[in-house]
């Protein structure tokens, strides 16, 4: 099981969604910014590093919104999604094909990674859609 972290970042009534690069596994699907936890890192440190690398921002990591386990054909992940806020910077497309601020009601217009299905359902329940 691979430890993966992601950030649920809000701006008003919209959250940040990132589109995976076409050449990567699950290419062009949408996801929350984040990535794998490296040896010696805490989950929070990994998430801060990933946000710097992928979006060029510094974040403040908050509490856990949700944890899910998902098995892909090539990878089994334990995903921890943290409520987070941007402490410094403006998100840039450093690694993703696209980034967008989405309303919960707009989520279904975007094809998200399968591991995010339960998270999207909880967002619908919590924030309505």
pLDDT in tens, 40-51: 999 999 999 999
% of the chain beyond a pLDDT of 70 = 99
Domain ranges, residue 24: 2-127
What is the distance between the alpha carbons of residues 71 and 12, in angstroms, rounded to a whole number?
33
What lies within 8 Å, CB to CB, of 85 at 6+ separation is: 9, 10, 59, 60, 62
Mean pLDDT of the 14-35 span = 94
> At residue 28, does pLDDT exceed 80?
yes
What mean pLDDT is predicted for residues 31-39? 97
Q: Once rounded to an integer, what is the mean pLDDT over residues 110-127?
A: 94
The pLDDT value recorded for residue 27 is 84
Considering its fold, how many domains does the chain have in total?
A: 1
The Cα-based distances of 58 to 44, 53, 79, 114 in angstroms read 12, 10, 20, 27
CATH number, position 46: 3.90.79.10
Query: CB–CB of 48/129 below 8 Å?
Result: no
Q: How many whole angstroms separate alpha carbon 62 and alpha carbon 115?
A: 21
- pLDDT beyond 70 at 129: no
Q: Which residue has the tokens 């359902």?
A: 121
pLDDT mean across residues, the chain: 95
pLDDT tens by residue, 51-104: 999 999 999 999 999 999 999 999 999 999 999 999 999 999 999 999 999 999
What's the Cα-to-Cα distance from 101 to each of 2, 4, 10, 83, rounded to whole Å? 27, 22, 8, 15
Residue 116 has pLDDT above 60, yes or no: yes
SS3 95: coil
- Strands 2-11, 34-36: pairing is antiparallel
């Amino acid at each position: 099981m691979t430890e993966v972290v992601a950030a649920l970042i809000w701006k008003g009534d919209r959250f940040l969604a990132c589109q995976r690069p076409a050449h990567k596994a699950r290419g062009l699907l949408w996801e929350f910014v984040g990535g794998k936890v490296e040896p010696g890192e805490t989950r929070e440190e990994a998430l801060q590093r990933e946000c710097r690398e992928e979006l060029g921002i510094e974040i403040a990591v908050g509490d856990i919104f949700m944890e899910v386990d998902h098995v892909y054909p090539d990878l089994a992940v334990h995903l921890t999604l943290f409520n987070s806020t941007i402490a410094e910077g403006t998100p840039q497309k450093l690694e993703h094909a696209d980034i967008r601020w989405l309303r919960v009601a707009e989520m279904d217009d975007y094809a998200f990674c399968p591991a995010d299905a339960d998270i999207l359902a909880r967002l619908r329940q919590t924030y309505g859609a």
